[in-house]
Structure 1
């Protein structure tokens, strides 16, 4: 398995393998890999000649220094997991300096308003950091296809918008959320949960599924009130937000329309660990 820590070495190698018939698939990650990440890699392996996986904890998308410091870094374990899929996957695990060249700052992006909803409202500057790193990685890897999980659905829409506005020649693919057996959305942050908290966090998906059922006959406001009341029953949960939004615009649903697709988005703390999830409501 090839592992590169310098973008110059990676780009030199990709130049040698690229041809007219070569398709490069790319899966950007921050490491602490789980089955959800591996499913993205499997999708890339099926549809591309070459698959590149980046492992990089991007400092510019964290607005909480403590969260950045605590984010799990497990490169050796990650590489072993990737090897279970294929020895041909190329890993790019750069340093901060290799990516940012001594200027670790975000570029400012305009995502036509997608950035002001939900995560954007609660994590100022987060999506500037996301756009900065994804654009840099796309320019380094020059993939034909890139794969993102729908657990970060708002991020997926942001990346699609950034790619479109900057006319980047890469197709963005959203892939289904992978869940643990109890329904908890797979996330690198789950590693920080105690066994008890992990079990209790299964309630997040149960409440989302109940919200989906209620949305068939109730208004968005009624469903939101139900979700808030449900989380209030559990003292270990602190609900940051629940929002029913239009999938395309991410604007809050005021009145349901049969021609629009809606999704329920949630962010919740359990034992001071922040988890997000979402569910299609149509």
Structure 2
């Protein structure tokens, strides 16, 4: 595996691949790889000639310095996983390589509306950091395809919007969430859960599923009441709720009355660990 840390070396390698007319896929990550990332990689292999994985813990998308400092760093373990997956190129820059003049005066990319609501409202500046680094990676790697998990649903919509509106010739492929047997979505943050919290964490997705089933049974009626009951249930289980609501899957506008398509988005705290998840449903007439 070729580990590239320098932007100019990466640019040279991309030119070589383009000359050979290779179809390139990008899987952007912040490391601490798990089964969800492996699924992204295996999905990418179906579309492209060469998969490039990036590992960069992007400080611009953290609005909490403590959260940034405690983010798991498992580079050697990640390399073992990538070698096993037969990844040819790993882009692994440091902060000075990606932000040579620092963060404060760096140009940034902002996607209006979608970046300011729901998770964006709870974490100011988070999505500006995401979209800025994604655009930098797109400019450097020039992929034909890029792959994102559906667990970060709002992020997925934002990336699709910026690709369309900034005219990137890139196809965004969404990959379904990978879960443990108990339903908990794989996440780099799961390692921060205590033993007792690990037992509680699966209740998040179980509650989301139950909420969706009730909404489906009631054909979208009394959504507000259903959501409130689910919120109260999670609180009793020990979750602190930032976000738990029903939205339009295309616009992320809140839904208060019956709608054909609905997504329940959740962002909660369990102890000091933030967990996000979602489930989308289609109501029959």
> What TM-score do you get using the length of structure 1 for normalisation?
0.95
The residue aligned with 1:266 is 266
Note the 1:1-282 alignment, pairs <5 A. 1-19=1-19, 21-86=21-86, 88-105=87-104, 107-216=107-216, 217=218, 218-235=221-238, 237-258=239-260, 261-282=261-282
Contact 1:243 1:252 in 2 (8 A): yes
Q: What is the deviation of 1:172? A: 0.7
- Tell me how far 1:112 sits from its aligned partner: 4.0
**Aligned pairs, number:** 278
Partner Cα separation in structure 1 for residue 82 and residue 108 of structure 2: 33
Shift of 1:21: 3.6
CA distance in 2: counterparts of 1:255 and 1:112, whole angstroms? 25
Q: For 2:257, what is the secondary structure of its paired residue? A: coil
- 5+ long unaligned stretches in structure 1: none
Q: Is the 8 A contact 1:215 1:281 kept in 2?
A: no
For 1:154-190, what per-residue CA distance to the aligned partner results, in whole angstroms no more than 9, with x for missing partners?
0000011111111111111111001111111110000
Q: Are the equivalent residues in 1 in contact too, given 2:110–2:131 (CA < 8 A)? A: no
RMSD: 1.4
Q: What is the alpha-carbon distance in structure 2 between the residues aligned to residue 85 and residue 70 of structure 1?
A: 27
Does the Cα contact within 8 Å between 1:179 and 1:186 map onto a contact in 2?
yes
> How far apart are the structure 2 equivalents of 1:275 and 1:91?
27
Distance 1:156 1:130 in 2: 11
* Greater alpha carbon shift after TM alignment, 223-232 vs 134-143: 223-232
Dislocated runs of 4+, deviation >6 Å: none
Residue 14 of structure 1, CA deviation = 1.8
